Amino acid sequence: MRLSRNIIKFDLECSWCGASVPEEHSAYKLPSAYVRAKESGHVFCSKSCGVKERHANLSPRQKQEYHNKIAGTRRSRSPEEKASSVEKMRNTWEEKSQEEKNDIVDRTLATKEKRGNKNSWSKAEKTMIVRLGEDYGKKRAAKAEETMLQEYGIRNALVKDSKFRGKAERTNLELYGSVHPTSNEEIKNRLVSTYTERHGGMGNASKTAQQRYKETMLEEHGVENPMHDKDIVKKVSEAYKKVGKYKAAETKKRNGTTPKQVAWKGHETKKKNGSYTTNKSEQYILQRLRSLLGSQVVHLYRDNPGYPWEADFYDPSTGTVYEYQGYFTHGKEPYDSTSKEHRKIVRELRVKAKSDKWAAKLHISIWTQTDPLKRATASTNNVPFVEWFTIKEFEEWLCTKIKKWLGAVKVRDNCFKLKNGLYAAHSTSSYAGTDKRVIVFNSDTPLRKLAKSIKKGTK
């Protein structure tokens, strides 16, 4: 021990957790206190450690008496008092102006930054690492689980049918009118508005969250996207194969069916219930096709004997099959075995496929084998077949059809100039609503009726 300007410098270890007691500790500023602490061996880095050591030396009966005493000193509040307190705090905050709120937030951040603790958890984390080691989280979780098993016979306080969960649900019902606070529309809307205001959006829509994600990935793996890390990709591939094989074997063992049979049944059920989910591009194409051809156009059709695959769209009135090849496995255009560029792409994909790239294998299989077979089968069976590889291709095809139906002489930006001096413009066109002569139609407008009304000279 050394004295310097009335400040004691010392080096002690906490009797409970073994952490070094910081210099200038308030409990040992006087020399006498320092000497007594060192001689007795009872030195603690915090009040909490002192309480823990005293509690550890008590008998089970003394521990229970201590708990009862502490519980008796606490005044339990009724649900009405709790709700009133929460409402009072909320009203106090809402009464403040935006400038006052910003000022409070700025002062809080400035104080944390001044103390070197910008992240409120960083100081606590460092303390826990000193006391329990790097894996302190697992140790605390194991200790908590052990205590719950000893005291109540359950691993987690919120497991189904536990008295703790029931109490929490009853409290939430009294305070918020729902089992979970976030089920309350008012709280949900407030949460969304607050998060959006602070971070610029919810979840991945937040630029702050995106930046943090990238920084964490760069710090831990050296890449911004996990799929750019070869080790992660390899682990995901191995796990996918393992789980896939296991699930297939279990399904066959349990139901006596193969994965293909299960997939077919799922398809039929979803189609029957109208619960099939598709991407936005297909939904857009379906809407425009029904506008052009009629409501008889079917989505995801499989019952065509001349085309034994699932068609993206099918028109039963003409028997035409429409396919949208927007996924990367279909390529950017139909495969041509005589094209040097296409053969070069296939060679590059085969190199990737050797390193267990499932996407490359799938791309080769669909682009060079399955899709050409579909076209050949449709041609052999005289099934009208139309395909598009991009939305732009589809819209060009659609404009040609609309122009023919309406008898337009010119097309520009989805606006069709008609022979009678009128114009028909899609709602997305920049010409929509600019002139009384412009007839505006939407994506779901029946174009047959529109063409007839234009020929009659009425809208």
Please give the chain's pLDDT, 459 residues, in tens: 443 434 444 556 676 666 666 555 545 444 555 555 555 556 666 666 766 666 677 777 777 777 777 666 555 667 778 778 888 888 888 888 888 888 888 887 777 666 555 455 566 777 777 777 777 777 888 888 888 888 888 888 777 767 778 888 888 888 878 888 888 888 888 888 888 887 777 777 788 888 888 888 888 888 888 888 888 888 887 777 776 665 666 766 666 667 667 766 776 676 666 555 567 888 888 888 888 888 888 888 888 888 988 888 999 988 999 999 888 888 889 998 888 899 888 888 888 887 766 778 888 888 998 999 999 999 999 999 999 999 889 988 988 888 887 778 788 777 888 877 778 888 777 777 777 777 888 777 787 777 777 766 544
Distances, alpha carbon 278 to alpha carbons 29, 115, 139, 285, 387, in Å: 71, 52, 45, 11, 18
Q: In the 8-state DSSP scheme, what is residue 368? A: I
Considering only CA atoms, which of 385, 395, 387 is closest in space to residue 367? 387
Q: Within 13 Å, how many C-alpha atoms sit on residue 368's CB side?
A: 17
Structure tokens at 433: 């609503």
**Looking at residue 385, what is its pLDDT?**
92
**Looking at residue 123, what is its pLDDT?**
64
Q: In the 8-state DSSP scheme, what is residue 203? A: G
Q: Taking the CB of residue 143, how many other CB atoms lie within 10 A of it?
A: 11
Which residues does 260 contact at the CB level (< 8 Å), separation at least 6? none
Give the amino acid at 391. I
Q: Taking the CB of residue 407, how many other CB atoms lie within 10 A of it?
A: 13
Q: What are phi and psi for residue 332, nearest 5 degrees?
A: -95, -10
**Looking at residue 8, what is its pLDDT?**
45
Distances, alpha carbon 248 to alpha carbons 239, 251, 270, 342, in Å: 14, 5, 21, 35
User: Rounded to whole angstroms, how far apart are CA atoms 19 and 49?
Assistant: 10
- Contact indicator for 226, 220 with CB cutoff of 8 Å: no
User: Rounded to whole angstroms, how far apart are CA atoms 28 and 50?
Assistant: 14
410 DSSP β-pair partners? 417
**Looking at residue 38, what is its pLDDT?**
56
CA angle 401, 405, 406 (to 5 degrees): 115
- Contact indicator for 352, 245 with CB cutoff of 8 Å: no
Q: Taking the CB of residue 21, how many other CB atoms lie within 10 A of it?
A: 19
Q: In the 8-state DSSP scheme, what is residue 26? A: G
User: Rounded to whole angstroms, how far apart are CA atoms 416 and 438?
Assistant: 9
User: Positive or negative CA dihedral for 139, 144, 150, 156?
Assistant: negative
**Looking at residue 431, what is its pLDDT?**
76
**Looking at residue 142, what is its pLDDT?**
85
Is 324 exposed, middle or buried, given 0-12, 13-18 or 19+ CB atoms closer than 10 A? Answer: buried
**Looking at residue 240, what is its pLDDT?**
72
pTM of the prediction?
Answer: 0.44
Which residues does 49 contact at the CB level (< 8 Å), separation at least 6? 14, 15, 16, 17
417 DSSP β-pair partners? 410, 423
Is 56 exposed, middle or buried, given 0-12, 13-18 or 19+ CB atoms closer than 10 A? Answer: exposed
Q: In the 8-state DSSP scheme, what is residue 329? A: G
DSSP E strands, 270-413: 298-301, 311-315, 320-324, 385-388, 410-412
